[in-house]
Amino acid sequence: MNIPGRETARTIGLVLEQYWFVKEPSLDLLKSNFNATISEIVFEKIISHDVSIRARIDGLVELELGGLPNCQRTKVPEVIVGPGEELPGEYLKQEKIAYCSIVSRLKYVNAFKACISSSMYHVQSHSIPSDPPVLPSNYMPLFAGEFQSVLYPMGRSENDKKLEQNNVAKNMANKNQLQKRILFKMETLEYAALLFEEIIKRGEGFALLVDLLYHQNYLYSSHRFSECLIGAWTIIEAGISKVWEQYIDNYKHSGGQVSKGRMKKLQGRDFTASIVQEVLSLSSVFAHSEYDEVDRIRKARNKWMHDLLPVSSDDAAKALQLSHKMVLKAYGIEIGMPISCGYIL
């Protein structure tokens, strides 16, 4: 059996079908010159070498992420396998590298979706519902704005993608679909790009936290409150750990002595999130209100984890609010996203 070589594209695409970017084309213009109209580039920002954002009028965002660690283009070599033979180890290794590269990109893609949601609220005072996060199964690779034959980790064919593209085009040409689109202003795109640049500066680990933030907002909007709270608690604990790390660094910079052995202990299992929370509260790093909020969410989390007691919508919303606060406190970046069309965190 001959398995052809494959290669990931240098650009990943994100389609936001509910928006027009910058300007809303007339129905007459779409009918007269559809392809040229929807493919017009209305926004571009170069963040660094091989890292950039381009947005088309029809809501297609092209994210060039090849300059980021773990996001470079990767190749899976052609291989010929005889009957009963196993795939060569080198082939499996390269396939894993390619898949991991895709997963790393998707962290940034979902982080950008969070930026889009946040910027719409901050700039246009308009809340929007959360879409499902992008998964490897709906990875959309692009090359120079066109769909290409590249690696689909879940076995999706190029014909599937072309069919989807045609369906999107048909929907957009429908007058009813046009009327439902929201205009995304230039200032809003610029704000989203600035947020995204700040995320990139903090690295893939932070992009994953923002990805999780976006995912938990989607879970809440889907009334999956228990899953939402558990994911939010993960973000809260990560924020507590980051603040604890900063607290120790500040102590050392002020002249305090911390040996390697003591540092290992301070960052080990003996200092659980609960103990760290107590120390940070006694040191006034956490306000009393923050301490109470963390305590409430921890109790709700334990009731679900140990007793399978259902999580209320209020506890899930409080957990989401706290996760956003912890990201701001630990990383200095505010990403406000809606959990419904009328409730902004």
pLDDT at 178: 56
Pairing state of beta strands 79-80 and 141-143? unpaired
Please say if the pLDDT value at position 250 is more than 60.
yes
Pairing state of beta strands 182-184 and 19-21? parallel
Pairing state of beta strands 51-56 and 41-48? antiparallel
Mean pLDDT of 59-86: 89
pLDDT at 7: 81
Comparing 235 with 5, the larger pLDDT belongs to 235
Q: What is the per-residue pLDDT across 20-51, written as a single tens digit (0 to 9) for each?
A: 999 998 888 888 888 888 889 999 999 998 99
> Which two structure tokens, joined as six digits, stand for 186?
């230039």
Mean pLDDT of 206-215: 95
pLDDT at 128: 79
pLDDT at 173: 52
Is the CB of residue 33 less than 8 Å from the CB of residue 25?
Answer: no
Of 42-56, 295-309, 313-327, 329-343, minimum mean pLDDT range = 329-343
pLDDT at 276: 93
Mean pLDDT of 201-210: 96
Q: What residues does each domain of the chain span?
A: 2-202, 224-344
Residue with tokens 């795109």: 189
Of 130-139, 285-294, 332-341, minimum mean pLDDT range = 332-341
Residues with Cβ < 8 Å from 238, sequence gap 6 or more? 209, 326, 330
Q: Give the number of residues written for the chain.
A: 345
| CB atoms inside a 10 Å sphere around CB 23 | 12
pLDDT at 171: 54
3-state secondary structure the chain: CEECCEECCCEEEEECCCEEECCCCCHHHHHHCHHHHHCCEEEEEEEECCEEEEEECCCEEEEECCCCCCCCCCEECCEECCCCCCCCHHHHHHHHHHHHHHHHHHHHHHHHHHHHHHHHHHHHCCCCCCCCCCCHHHCCEEECCEECCCCCCCCCCHHHHHHHHHHHHHHHHCHHHHHHCEEECHHHHHHHHHHHHHHHHHCHHHHHHHHHHHHHHHHHHCCCHHHHHHHHHHHHHHHHHHHHHHHHHHHHHCCCCCCHHHHHHHCCCCCCHHHHHHHHHHCCCCCHHHHHHHHHHHHHHHHHHHHCCCCCHHHHHHHHHHHHHHHHHHHCCCCCCEEECCEEC
pTM of the model: 0.85
> Which two structure tokens, joined as six digits, stand for 281?
């509260």
Q: What is the per-residue pLDDT across 6-28, written as a single tens digit (0 to 9) for each?
A: 888 778 888 887 889 999 988 88
What CA–CA distance (Å, rounded) separates 195 from 123?
12
pLDDT at 147: 36
